[in-house]
Amino acid sequence: MRPEGRSAQQVRPITLTRNYTKHAEGAVLVEFGETKVLCTATIEEGVPRFLKGQGQGWITAEYGMLPRSTHTRNPREAAKGKQGGRTLEIQRLIARSLRAAVDLTQLGEFTITLDCDVLQADGGTRTASITGACVALADALNKLVADGKLKQNPMKCMVAAVSVGIVGGEAVCDLEYVEDSAAETDMNVVMTDDGRMIEVQGTAEGEPFTHEELLSLLALARQGIDTIIKAQKAVLGQ
């Protein structure tokens, strides 16, 4: 039996609140149950050096957890003087995922930075971040078009993510913290709205997993992401 009586394939209640803060070009509070992440999209003119003069744009991401977003306090990375390996890994994943949603050659020489800051963590912060960042990105791109800075919207598709895993021998979708910390296998899947995959990252925390287990996890992920993309489209009025 899962917490809150969820079925194995059920995602937590998904909430996406646009314009949660006022300065950013996109600012979305995403909630996967008790996991809450503030995702902002910032548009800046110019691109990193390796892209200069090619007429295309860039999308990057940064991720952070507020020190007390977790059960016990995590030391502040700014105070420690460096971002940890987990943080870097997650922000690289977010950036790669969102770049897949956009035709960068149609973005013009703009850089969009997606900041995903976890206000409260209860499992699945990276998948919530990708999901929320995609909506913030959509808002930012719409703004570029509305402001006449781009003629057409370079967004190719919606992108969303979910975690799946094997807990107590059963494959379940959208793990919350108590499940995540007990999972034998943990997998994060990022997909587009046509059901193709952008990232699959599966890790055996305990025993190695079989091909059949992998297949059941992928099936759960596809279904969960369908639901999540519906929520994204609803909040964007699509």
Question: Which residues here bind a copy of itself, judged by CB under 8 A?
Answer: 21-24, 27, 34, 36, 38, 40, 42, 44, 62, 64, 66-71, 73, 76-89, 91-92, 96, 100, 113, 115, 117, 119-121, 187, 191-192, 194-204, 207-211, 214, 218
Please, are residues 31 and 132 in contact by the beta-carbon 8 Å criterion? no
What is the nearest approach in angstroms of a copy of itself to the Cβ of residue 7?
Answer: 23
Please, are residues 38 and 117 in contact by the beta-carbon 8 Å criterion? yes
User: Which of helix, strand or coil describes residue 45?
Assistant: strand
List binding-site positions for phosphate: 86, 124-126
Alpha-helical runs (H) found in 100-184: 125-146, 177-180
Query: Residue 118 corresponds to which tokens in the numbers above?
Result: 């976890």
The one-letter amino acid code at 69 reads S
Residue closer to a copy of itself by CB (options 38, 172) is 38
List binding-site positions: 86, 124-126
What is the nearest approach in angstroms of a copy of itself to the Cβ of residue 83?
Answer: 5
Residue closer to a copy of itself by CB (options 71, 151) is 71
What is the nearest approach in angstroms of a copy of itself to the Cβ of residue 213?
Answer: 8
Residue closer to a copy of itself by CB (options 109, 199) is 199
Residue closer to a copy of itself by CB (options 87, 142) is 87
Please, are residues 197 and 220 in contact by the beta-carbon 8 Å criterion? no
What is the nearest approach in angstroms of a copy of itself to the Cβ of residue 27?
Answer: 7
- How far apart are the C-alpha atoms of 185 and 44, rounded to whole Å? 39
Phi, psi of 73 (to 5 degrees): -75, 130
62, 119, 134 from 125: Cα distances, Å:
13, 10, 14
What is the nearest approach in angstroms of a copy of itself to the Cβ of residue 146?
Answer: 19
> Could you identify the residue written with the tokens 């993309």?
229
Residue closer to a copy of itself by CB (options 1, 79) is 79
